[in-house]
Structure 1
Amino acid sequence: MVAMDGKKVTVTYTDEFGIWQHLADEFRQHFPLRNLHWKSAKGPLRNIQVLGVELKRFNPDTTEQSHMNPETLLEKPYLNLYFVNCDDNEKYRQIVKNKIREWLNIVDSKRKQEWLIVYVTKQETMRNAARYFMKGTVFDKIKADFNSSRRERCVQLRLAENDSEDYEAWQELITKIKEGILCSFDQHVITYEEEIKKFDSQRSIVGWNYCRSFILKERLALTFEIMNLFEEALVQYDELEASFFQVLKDRALAWFGSFGATDPNDDSDNILDIKKKQYRDLIMQNTTSEFDFRCYLFARQCQLLGRLHRPVDICRRAQFFISTFCRAIKEHQANIGEHFLESWIFSSCMSVVNECEELAPLTSMDDSSTIAFNAAKGELLDLARKQLDKIGIYYDHLPSLLPFTASLGDVIPPATDEEGKAKKNFSITNKELQEAINSQNDFDVLYLSLTNRALGAYEGSARLRSVLRLQGDVAALHFDGRYSMALWRTRMDSC
């Protein structure tokens, strides 16, 4: 699915006093976090309505490296919690204080990670401690030893005997957790923005690398995404796209190994699937092809639009991307193979439409949005159908006459046997197209099915001219002796 679930912010916990087993279930009930507010240095206040959190036991042995994959970096904790349960001042002084200090030294060695000490106690313990107030409680000593002047790093969780007091105690802890996560997130954003700015300022220097620039900026985009700030993440990819077009205009494509589009199933894979190849690794290694890079960039933009529940924008972007990128593919047709382009356009259009049809019911759309979605979807289905015109004429499943030759741009004469054999060396890997090529009946079924889907979309958007055009195409086949029943069904469906 386009609108797939994203990663969660990681929060670790350290429990050296056997507390976690008594807190875990209730602790998890307070997640996901809700209503976080982040103020960036450059923009207005952002509201994060829901934020998923993954709790993990603290691992002191984990190390971080600056060259790590951006997605791997997201697994680093934003906040580390240390649970303490001790009401004996002497034990605290001799044992507990040193344990906290050792943990804190490890946490401080990790970059851009926040920490919080959680002192867990019961109400009964609090009442007993009041008798010895002059000595000060263990929690008082923890605050004196570890609180910083800038912000409080210690919070007390009182396990209450009634629900109202329990709610207040947990709310204080949850508030501190929100503050810690937002503080860590803000540090990440500031650091990444500074690195991007510094690297972009070196653009005119020999050795500057677009792929490196992409990785830096995508790291920022993924950081926004993990915090459910999808609009901000999308801006980063849109800026990367604009930057790429400038590179393309300057013909400075030395960072791309080749044009590509020669891997198995490149003509038929789901264009929105970002896991079908190790895209980020290829980009980091400067071995990605232009074809893979542009497909990945487009898929990431659509993935974010999916998480924003904007199927109309996905369809519109897809139409623009496919129609513009196919020109570049045509320039490399000799190295790719005959009918690669038709198969890629058909497969890409159908992948986008199928994904968006699953997304649309999950999206709140008014009448105008529904009309816009049907129109955008209809254009993609129509574009896919035009590829069937081209393939059908080539394999003699359609007559080489108008209106079918209109999809070719020019009316082409039938290929000779020798030319046909030479052109058929490339093997289309889309299974639907394979079956349609091998069987006249399968081709007819696919052609009619796709035409009906396009008709339904155009009718839902009141595109009457497009409806009449498609009905005319089917009517033309009536005279070929194969589509009399198909024509009747199409007309009945449109009534």
Structure 2
Amino acid sequence: MANYLAQFQTIKSACAHLIIAVEDVSDLWPAVRNNFEERLPFRRACLNNKTRNPVFLENLPAEFVLTTDARLRSRFPQEQYLFWFREPYATLVLVTCEDLDEFKNIVKPRLKVFAQNDEREWFIIFLSKAHPNNDQATKMAKKVYAKFEADFSSKKRERCCKFDIYGPEPNFWEELEFRIMDSIKNTLDRRIQFYEDEIRKLSEQRFMPIWNFCNFFILKESLAFMFEIAHLHEDALREYDELELCYLETVNMGGKHREFGGLDRGDDRAALLNPGNKSLTQIVQGDSFREFEFRQYLFACQSKLLFKLNHPFEVASRGYSFIISFSKALESNESILPFCMREVWVITACLALVDATSIQYNDEDVAPETEKEFYRVQGDLYSLCRIKLLRLAYLIGYGTEIERSPVNSASLGMLPWPKPAVYPSVPDDATSEVVVKEKACNYSTSKNS
């Protein structure tokens, strides 16, 4: 399965939305395409998450794709199931029919063959060409549509709806969206179950010699990516969190040598927020991934989802913890890494997190306590950045020029500066006192100079 990594990454980059296939039986799509596409994205979507609880979405992008499109051509079964997230989530069958004989002899047999595929969620859209002023044509269209309903719908499942080219009924678009969302929800539920079953099988083999992390990764990230394109971002984030825990367990398992990575040009610059910094095939080694690149990749995927959920504070908080943890991994591998690699990486990681979270942060949407915590974490990132900058200066020969102070001494000794368990509260009238002190300090400085 590891051989599919390159193909997997290519498919992911080309799959931005849920696909709704269009089976254009009567060559009608060019005439109605604009009418359908202007209804996207769906604004009243309801899907089930991983625990089968309904999630209401205000904006769900999707794309109509003809079944003759190259992206939907038949594939090998293993490949099709492995990358099931890119397969259509619903199929619209566009068809028209002038009379009952045509329906009986031509249209019905063709649709019966199509309907035998139980894996597809499909429904028929009968396009009526009858002009409102032509009573005979209108009556015939109603009779033909009644045959469609009788042969393809049932009490359990409505599979037909009628679209009048000269003006659809007022509730047609609401009915169509309901049918499409019902199909997407059923397909999503079935595919979630498939991925969960496959992942469970591999998880049971985790401590066996046949265990292959690449196989597990492709299935796990396929599920996460399917959640992401369905805008179920919390479920996608949970998959990446579980994937990270599993990876760290495999890293800590003894008995197998793994390359750490970090030796390529530009690796000293952190890639915490760029999941596409390197291709997956560049960082794979045997049946696993190099720790240096892969842990950053996972954090970047998590951060992307957290930003979509509008949680920049959590990105900053997670980022600070990640930098501390990853810095220890860099220290453990310092003998094989370039000189001062750890210091430069931490500095660039801290600054990147501060910049990205500051841009995404909106203080109008958060509680006062969260706002305080956000700026406190940003302060921690700046403080850690300062510590590593001092350490870098010391290592490259500027130690004698660094001011000797308790703070700097602790920094150069790589010791965390002690912080109070509880920060003192700031009085409401403290602003005026601060201004007075600043003026006094400025006056004293100018006088001494």
TM over 0.5: yes
Match of 1:335 in 2: 336
CA distance in 2, matches of 1:394, 1:24: 65
Match of 2:210 in 1: 207
Distance 1:213-1:488 versus aligned 2 partners, 3 A rule: farther
* Contact 2:21–2:92 under 8 Å retained in 1: yes
Q: 1:122: how far off?
A: 5.2
Alignment equivalent of 1:52, drawn from 61, 78, 82? 61
Match of 1:258 in 2: 259
1:17 corresponds to 2:26: yes
Q: What letter is aligned with 1:214?
A: F
1:142 corresponds to 2:148: yes
Match of 1:472 in 2: none
Q: 1:17: how far off?
A: 2.7
CA distance in 2, matches of 1:48, 1:297: 26
Alignment equivalent of 1:116, drawn from 109, 123, 134? 123
* Contact 2:46–2:181 under 8 Å retained in 1: no
Distance 1:69-1:87 versus aligned 2 partners, 3 A rule: closer
Q: 1:120: how far off?
A: 1.4
Match of 1:175 in 2: 178
Match of 1:235 in 2: 238
Q: Identify the range of structure 1 (72-81 vs 282-291) with the bigger mean alpha-carbon deviation.
A: 282-291
Q: What letter is aligned with 2:73?
A: D
CA-based RMSD of the aligned residues comes to 3.5
CA distance in 2, matches of 1:117, 1:221: 31
Q: What letter is aligned with 2:128?
A: T
Q: Which runs of 5+ in 1 are unaligned?
A: 412-460, 464-486
Match of 1:155 in 2: 161
CA distance in 2, matches of 1:199, 1:338: 40
1:63 corresponds to 2:69: no
Q: How does 1:10-409 map to 2 (within 5 A)?
A: 10-39=19-48, 42-59=51-68, 61-67=73-79, 73-101=84-112, 103-104=114-115, 108=117, 112-121=119-128, 124=131, 127-128=135-136, 131=139, 137-147=143-153, 150-159=156-165, 161=167, 166-251=169-254, 257-279=258-280, 282-283=283-284, 286=287, 288-361=289-362, 364-397=365-398, 399-400=401-402, 401-402=404-405, 403-409=407-413
User: SS of 1:309's equivalent?
Assistant: coil
Q: How does 1:338-487 map to 2 (within 5 A)?
A: 338-361=339-362, 364-397=365-398, 399-400=401-402, 401-402=404-405, 403-409=407-413
Deviation readout 1:292-321 (Å, 9 max, x if unpaired): 121111111111111111011001101111
* Contact 2:67–2:73 under 8 Å retained in 1: no
Q: Which runs of 5+ in 2 are unaligned?
A: 1-12, 416-424, 428-440
Q: 1:374: how far off?
A: 1.3
Q: Identify the range of structure 1 (266-275 vs 182-191) with the bigger mean alpha-carbon deviation.
A: 266-275
Match of 2:438 in 1: none
Deviation readout 1:312-370 (Å, 9 max, x if unpaired): 10011011111011111111111112100011111111122221122114972243332
Distance 1:131-1:54 versus aligned 2 partners, 3 A rule: closer
Q: Identify the range of structure 1 (331-340 vs 276-285) with the bigger mean alpha-carbon deviation.
A: 276-285
Q: What letter is aligned with 1:407?
A: S
User: SS of 1:33's equivalent?
Assistant: coil
CA distance in 2, matches of 1:371, 1:12: 48
Distance 1:237-1:54 versus aligned 2 partners, 3 A rule: same
User: SS of 2:381's equivalent?
Assistant: helix
* Contact 1:212–1:284 under 8 Å retained in 2: no
Distance 1:397-1:148 versus aligned 2 partners, 3 A rule: farther
Deviation readout 1:261-295 (Å, 9 max, x if unpaired): 11111111432111111127755963521111211
Q: What letter is aligned with 2:210?
A: G
With structure 1 as the length reference, what TM-score do the two structures score? 0.72
Distance 1:362-1:230 versus aligned 2 partners, 3 A rule: farther
User: SS of 1:34's equivalent?
Assistant: coil
Q: 1:41: how far off?
A: 7.5
Q: 1:150: how far off?
A: 4.4
Distance 1:38-1:75 versus aligned 2 partners, 3 A rule: closer
* Contact 1:159–1:169 under 8 Å retained in 2: no
Match of 1:451 in 2: none
CA distance in 1, matches of 2:159, 2:246: 42
* Contact 1:35–1:50 under 8 Å retained in 2: yes
Distance 1:410-1:137 versus aligned 2 partners, 3 A rule: closer
Q: What letter is aligned with 1:320?
A: S
